[in-house]
């Protein structure tokens, strides 16, 4: 940051505090709401959802071999397989856009072509594990599943559409960049069990009390701590029996890396959501509920389109789309527009469009943005009509 920028920043902060209308009741309630919202996250979502999710994401980035996925994106790879792997590879490969872009360019120009590359470009940020887990936890299982399913389906459809629009684009295939490097150190079933036990810890620790104390969900709820504990013990045993010390250190490092990168931004997002919209169900935020309901309430074409376009333009730091949406839905946003925003939001933003423009060119960028907005609107309409 230049000295001049620092000066402007300081002046801006000063002016905000100089003129902020603190005596206004809505401003006062909004500030309190922001802290209530932070407390709600701290009490309900941090220990048993975010912390295990960071460990899972860290484990994936260290133990799942990224190079082994690349062979599905080579110029000679089976196209069907390319699309399939691209649509779910976001869970394994991507956390930030700076990893995605070189991969996109490589796949598009040297490998399987623009279709799988675009599928990958979309699925990368849209379907990362942390986002799906927290969406299910905060916005409900239904929304989490709709998001995961929508992201996978979108990436394939958008990839296929891009491939058919730009089918005459040339590329310089280079098979050597996609050579399979086999660097696995333990059998697949051990890795699967390792991840499965982590997921069990997460699922059982976060098991919610059902509304009626009957049936399967209640039976699990009664013993959920025992189940989570058993999964944790199994995990600890696996760690000591199958993993080397170096591996555990790099797992810890990458988990800590995720936490450092994501947690502060998420807290800022929760705070902003509380300030602007208030806690769900209350009309205490800076933005009155009726404005939200006016713009994105119900399930009209307009509401869905507005949510898609706003999502495509807005920048959300990893996971912050979730508290923002929670606030918006609590203020009267419809479920359809909420899904539309979830599907268009993380994949695109104004800053990322500027970078993408350099990498893919204006024509492809416009087609890509158009497809994302159109598909998100459509998915929002369908979801809103069903639920």
Partner 1 sequence: MKIEVFGPGCPKCVNTEKAIKAVLAELKLSAEVVKITDISAIVDRGVMFTPAVIIDGKKVCEGKVPTPEMIKGWLK
Q: Given candidates 84, 106, 210, 229, which one binds partner 1 under the rule CB under 8 A?
A: 106
- Check binding of 70 to partner 1 (CB under 8 A): yes
- Check binding of 359 to partner 1 (CB under 8 A): yes
* Of 105 and 282, CB closest to partner 1: 105
* Of 107 and 148, CB closest to partner 1: 107
* Of 172 and 214, CB closest to partner 1: 172
* Of 218 and 253, CB closest to partner 1: 253
- Using CB under 8 A, which of the segments 64-72, 75-83, 278-286, 328-336 binds partner 1? 64-72
Contact 123, 155 (CB under 8 A): yes
* Of 153 and 265, CB closest to partner 1: 265
- Check binding of 103 to partner 1 (CB under 8 A): yes
* Of 86 and 231, CB closest to partner 1: 86
- Using CB under 8 A, which of the segments 36-44, 63-71, 128-136, 229-237 binds partner 1? 63-71
Interactions with partner 1, residue window 107-146 (CB under 8 A): 107, 109-110
Q: Given candidates 105, 157, 230, 232, which one binds partner 1 under the rule CB under 8 A?
A: 105
Q: Given candidates 64, 96, 309, 382, which one binds partner 1 under the rule CB under 8 A?
A: 96
Which string of x and - marks every residue 162-191 that binds partner 1 (by CB under 8 A)?
A: ------------x-xx--------------
Residue numbers at the binding site for partner 1 (CB under 8 A):
66-67, 70, 96, 98-99, 101-103, 105-107, 109-110, 174, 176-177, 355, 358-359
């Amino acid at each position: 940051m230049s000295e001049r920028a620092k000066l402007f920043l300081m002046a801006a902060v000063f002016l905000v505090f100089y003129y902020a209308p603190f005596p206004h009741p809505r401003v006062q309630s909004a500030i309190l709401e922001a802290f209530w919202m932070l407390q709600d996250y701290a009490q309900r979502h941090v220990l048993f959802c975010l912390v295990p999710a960071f460990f899972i994401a860290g484990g994936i980035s260290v133990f799942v071999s990224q190079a082994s996925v690349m062979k599905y994106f080579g110029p000679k790879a089976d196209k069907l397989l390319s699309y399939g792997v691209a649509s779910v590879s976001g869970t394994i490969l991507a956390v930030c856009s700076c990893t995605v872009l070189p991969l996109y360019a490589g796949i598009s120009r040297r490998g399987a072509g623009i279709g799988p590359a675009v599928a990958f470009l979309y699925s990368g940020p849209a379907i990362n594990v942390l986002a799906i887990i927290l969406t299910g936890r905060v916005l409900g299982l239904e929304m989490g599943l709709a998001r995961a399913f929508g992201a996978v389906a979108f990436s394939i459809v958008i990839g296929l559409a891009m491939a058919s629009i730009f089918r005459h684009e040339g590329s310089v295939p280079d098979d050597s960049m996609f050579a399979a490097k086999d660097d696995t150190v333990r059998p697949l079933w051990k890795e699967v069990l390792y991840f499965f036990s982590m997921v069990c810890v997460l699922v059982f620790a976060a098991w919610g009390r059902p509304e009626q104390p009957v049936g399967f969900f209640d039976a699990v709820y009664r013993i959920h701590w025992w189940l989570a504990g058993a999964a944790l013990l199994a995990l600890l045993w696996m760690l000591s029996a199958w993993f080397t010390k170096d591996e555990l250190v790099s797992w810890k490092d990458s988990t800590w890396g995720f936490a450092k990168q994501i947690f502060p931004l998420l807290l800022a997002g929760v705070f902003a959501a509380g300030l602007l919209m208030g806690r769900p169900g209350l009309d205490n935020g800076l933005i009155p509920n009726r404005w939200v309901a006016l713009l994105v309430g119900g399930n009209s074409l307009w509401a869905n389109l507005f949510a898609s376009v706003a999502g495509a333009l807005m920048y959300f730091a990893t996971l912050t789309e979730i508290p923002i949406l929670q606030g918006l839905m609590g203020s009267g946003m419809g479920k359809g527009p909420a899904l539309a925003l979830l599907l268009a939001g993380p994949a695109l933003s104004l800053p990322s469009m500027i970078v993408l423009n350099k990498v893919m060119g204006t024509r492809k960028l416009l087609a890509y943005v158009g497809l994302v907005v159109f598909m998100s609107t459509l998915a929002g309409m369908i979801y809103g009509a069903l639920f």
